[in-house]
Amino acid sequence: MTIAADLPERGSYFAPGWRLRDWLLTTDHKRIAWLYMSALLTFFFIGGAAATLIRIELFSPSGDFMTDDTYNRMFTLHGVVMVWFFLIPSIPATLGNFLLPLMLGAKDLAFPRLNLASWYVFMAGALITLWAMLVGGLDTGWTFYTPLSTMFTTDNTSIAAIGVFIIGFSTIMTGINFIVTTHKLRAPGQTWFRLPIFVWTLYATSLVMVLATPVLAATLLLIVADRVFGIGIFDPAQGGDPLLFQHLFWFYSHPAVYIMILPGMGVVSEILPCFSRRPLFGYKFVAYSSMGIALLGFMVWGHHMFVSGQSTYAGVIFSFLSFCIAVPSAIKVFNWTLTMRKGSVTFETSMIYSLGFLGLFVFGGLAGLFLAALAEDVHLTDTYFVIAHFHYIMVGGMVTAFLAGVHFWWPKMTGRMYSETWGRIAAVTSFLGFNLTFFPQFILGFNGMPRRYHTYPDEFQVWNVLSSAGAVVLALGYLMPLFYLGYSLFKGPRAPDNPWDATGLEWQTSSPPPKDNFRTPPVVTGPPYQYELPEIDRPADQR
């Protein structure tokens, strides 16, 4: 192999070898991170292909590209793959897996074998669901609403649901592993308030994973039981209640939104201080707000159901709690912004992605205020406004943060540098493409275009064409890194141990790290983010 394996450094984690079994039977968290990375990228591009077909269909108001059934299967495929095969595991299973032990000065996660098992369970569940969707077709939407999913669709629903059920166990395994690792394996001197924010957010995410996922598992089993045994728990004709499903589903799926976004917040909390050469502003407030978001995230699920037949007063309470969760999110944004103040800002690729994250997260979050406001939500819910809102958070926020993190830690993970020029071009391209794709969807939603529509009235066409055109630019922005990062993997210049002059423990070991991470166990003596201004920017009296 010519990849990083041939590095002269003895004992990088690539050294044990490149045979298939060196990867498939490894318990090294760094290698497992790559197993996840390759699987998740594959799924991301499958989900992206489905999105491409959707955008082609919506180019014109009539359904002339595919049939209605095919279209329904496409958006179901897109949703299921992106949510469960990419967004939920994305940052925790790849960057989190690689970095958590390094940031704690540990040799590995607390349960290395459980970590490998989680990957196999994930793959098993993902392949079962993917098979069900590609071979038979699944047209319930990723939300599996009853009684459509229990009484009115094909038999693949049960198989797909069982696949997602299995994936849930992988999520729980990762969550438990991260929680125990954070509690037990911190370096000497590394108190809770000396932890990087990325670790805080992974910890908060893990709590949500462990507490919310069992509810999803129970809900999916009830769907299967309803379909196979006809127990009728969601069937009104047998005294069941279709709304019960929505309560159970969103009790998992709203916290799941925070599983998706919290680690992204952690990533930019590492990158902004590094390229501003300043400590993170309001560290404790950012740490606490992560826990606040995780906690409040459990109490807002009913805001998906304002027009579902849920009682009016339940709606009022869920609306109130949803506005409460805006507060910790806003605290983070203000603190990130002020981190740059009086800093020495440079614009490396990962910094540009982080700034893009900040902008898109702010506008996505503000759009959330519209949807939390009850009377406004009555008009906007189930329209493209909702689609635009959560894509701003999930794609503009989470995917952008994921790319920021991949670029930031790439030298550590591979021991190679990549082209900053191409990196910057890709970051700016995806930012522009994203806005062009999703901003028109806010306007569509306000004008009343419902989501999951295969055909639509003519007056919506202009915005749909714009959105489809934007998707081409966005796809370009997402494809570019495949090429220059792929090139870097084989031909990139060797990376120094700490190319960004960053402060985290992970930068104190070699790039790529040895199998056991540190040659001498690190000791922590101070808070994180002890950045200093470079000579050139220091005030005269401090030079």
Question: In the set 242, 397, 512, 528, which binds other proteins (CB under 8 A)?
Answer: 242
Angle at 120 (CA atoms; ends 161, 48), nearest 5 degrees: 60
Query: Can you read off the two tokens belonging to residue 53?
Result: 């077909």
User: From CA 526, how far away is CA 529, in angstroms rounded?
Assistant: 9
Least spacing, CB of residue 255 vs other proteins, in Å: 20
- Report the alpha-carbon angle 135-85-242, nearest 5: 75
Let me know: does 83 contact 256? Beta carbons within 8 Å.
yes
Q: How far is the CB of 312 from other proteins (least distance, A)?
A: 5
The only residue of 251, 252, 438, 453 in contact with other proteins, by rule CB under 8 A: 453
Segment 501 to 530, residues that bind other proteins, using CB under 8 A: none
Which range in 82-90, 91-99, 156-164, 448-456 contacts other proteins by CB under 8 A?
448-456
Nearer to other proteins, 381 or 414 (CB): 381
**Segment lying near other proteins (by CB under 8 A), choices 115-123, 316-324, 407-415, 481-489:** 316-324
Binding segment (CB under 8 A) for other proteins, from list 125-133, 173-181, 379-387, 400-408? 379-387
Distance in Å, CB of 316 to other proteins, minimum? 5
Query: Which of 49, 227, 44, 47 has its CA nearest to residue 142?
Result: 47
- Nearer to other proteins among residue 24 and residue 314 (C-beta): 314
Question: Which one, 7 or 50, has the nearer CB to other proteins?
Answer: 50
If the CB atoms of residues 39 and 222 are measured against other proteins, the closer one turns out to be 222
- Would you state the structure tokens that stand for residue 194, as one six-digit string? 């000396």
Q: Which residues of 240-265 are buried (b: 16+ CB within 10 A; e: fewer)?
A: bebeebbbbbbbbbbbbbbbbbbbbb
Of the candidate residues 10, 21, 458, 520, the single one contacting other proteins (CB under 8 A): 458
> Is residue 461 involved in binding other proteins (CB under 8 A)?
yes
* Among 125-133, 185-193, 223-231, 443-451, the segment contacting other proteins (CB under 8 A): 443-451
Q: Is 105 left (phi over 0), alpha (psi -120 to 50) or beta?
A: left
Each residue of 361-373: b (16+ CB within 10 Å) or e?
bbbbbebbebbbe
According to the binding rule CB under 8 A, does residue 498 interact with other proteins? no
Closest to other proteins by CB, 347 or 490:
347
Structural tokens at position 22: 């060196």
Q: SS3 of 383, please?
A: strand
User: Could you tell me if 384 and 451 are in contact, meaning their C-beta atoms sit under 8 angstroms apart?
Assistant: yes
Classify 492 as helix, strand or coil: coil
**Judged by CB under 8 A, does residue 253 bind other proteins?**
no
Q: Which of 94, 383, 400, 488 binds other proteins (CB under 8 A)?
A: 383
Structure tokens at 136: 């038979």
Residues of span 352-371 touching other proteins by CB under 8 A: 355, 358-359, 362-363, 366-367, 369-370
Binding segment (CB under 8 A) for other proteins, from list 29-37, 48-56, 333-341, 481-489 = 333-341
Rg (CA), the chain: 23
**Which residue of 94, 201, 206, 319 would you call a contact of other proteins, by CB under 8 A?**
319
* Type of residue numbered 135: V
Whether the CB-CB separation of 252 and 304 falls below 8 Å is answered with no
Among 459, 494, 521, 523, indicate the residue that binds other proteins (CB under 8 A): 459
Backbone angles phi, psi at 25, to 5 degrees: -115, 15
Residue of 221, 314, 327, 523 interacting with other proteins (CB under 8 A): 327
Interface segment toward other proteins; rule CB under 8 A; list 28-36, 394-402, 417-425, 454-462: 454-462
Judged by CB under 8 A, the number of residues near other proteins is 104
Contact 75, 52 (CB under 8 A): no
Q: Is 63 in the site for other proteins (CB under 8 A)?
A: yes
Residues in the chain: 543
Contact 253, 88 (CB under 8 A): no
Shortest distance, CB of residue 401 to other proteins, whole angstroms? 15
CA distance 138 to 144: 10
Structure tokens belonging to residue 9 = 């450094």
Which is closer to other proteins, CB of 153 or CB of 517?
A: 153
Residues in 399-438 at the binding interface with other proteins, rule: CB under 8 A? none
**Binding to other proteins in span 2-61, by CB under 8 A:** none
Binder among 331, 428, 472, 476 for other proteins (CB under 8 A): 331
Binding piece for other proteins, criterion CB under 8 A, among 15-23, 127-135, 260-268, 331-339: 331-339
User: Which residue of 56, 443, 489, 524 would you call a contact of other proteins, by CB under 8 A?
Assistant: 443
Find the binder of other proteins among 56, 66, 124, 148 (CB under 8 A). Answer: 148
**What does the H/E/C string look like for 388-410?**
HHHHHHHHHHHHHHHHHHHHHHH
In the complex, what is the shortest distance from the CB of residue 174 to other proteins, in angstroms, rounded to a whole number? 31
